[in-house]
Amino acid sequence: MGELMSNASETDAMGIESEVSPWLTPLAYWLFYYLVLPLFFGRIEINGQEHLPRVGAVILAPTHRSRWDPILLGYAAGRRATGRDLRYMVLLSQTQGIQGWFVRRLGGFPIDRTRPTTSSIRYSVELLQRENVLVLFPEGHIISHKEMGEIQPGVARIALQAVSHQSNLTVNIVPVSIYYQHSAPPPMGCKVWVNIGSPLNAREYQEDSIKKATRHLTTDLKEALQALHQPPSELL
């Protein structure tokens, strides 16, 4: 079902739209995979791709240090790596204007952090129930330093809400560290390491209290990201 829905525009009751364009998406993948990323970065090293689920509902939960992060995720975990397209929750400002036209057709959909509503959350749950791959940045915003930022509970809440509303659904949360050689913004020639960890099964965290389950899952996600987000040996 996820592959079927990935080729069509999806709209929730509040008018949020997300689309994976059948012509723009493969073109963008080709350009970034073969031209833009190899030319900009000195080296891109990817570890742990075997942890990426090829089917079912998935949340990719990466660290957030640069605007390059969504593109690097597509490079490491998108259709050329897994045969699957990614859906991104992005800031409302990034879905407006010319940039927004591209973002919305490459799987992006907005959240307004200044006036948050439940529509983006509901839409995220719908995407998971359709067994898509959803990208949520658990730190909430770009962090300008290399250390881990505070992990927000949003990823856990969305995953737990999805499995609680659909008894046969499994949601795997995959922690991902994107570690740049230099602090943000990374300069041209910078090396980058993408480390992908073992998935956390949200269904295993269902408890009698949603608050307790959210806290437990958020803590485990934080620990998984901290373990992945370490300086490579060549930088020590």
Q: Where are the alpha helices (DSSP H) in the chain?
A: 2-6, 24-31, 37-40, 69-77, 79-82, 97-105, 119-129, 154-165, 210-228
Mean pLDDT, rounded, of the chain: 89
Domains of the chain: 2-9+18-231 (3.40.1130.10)
Reported as a pLDDT band with limits 50, 70 and 90, residue 187 is very high
* pLDDT computed for residue 145 by the predictor: 84
* pLDDT computed for residue 29 by the predictor: 93
* pLDDT computed for residue 120 by the predictor: 86
Q: What is the pTM of this model?
A: 0.91
Q: What are the distances in angstroms from CA 25 to CA 8, 60, 84?
A: 12, 19, 11
Tell me: pLDDT of 197 over 70: yes
11 vs 166, which has greater pLDDT? 166
When pLDDT is averaged across residues 16-38 and rounded to a whole number, the result is: 92
Contact call for residues 144 and 166 (beta carbons, < 8 A): no
Give the model confidence (pLDDT) of 46-73 as tens digits.
999 999 999 999 999 999 999 999 999 9
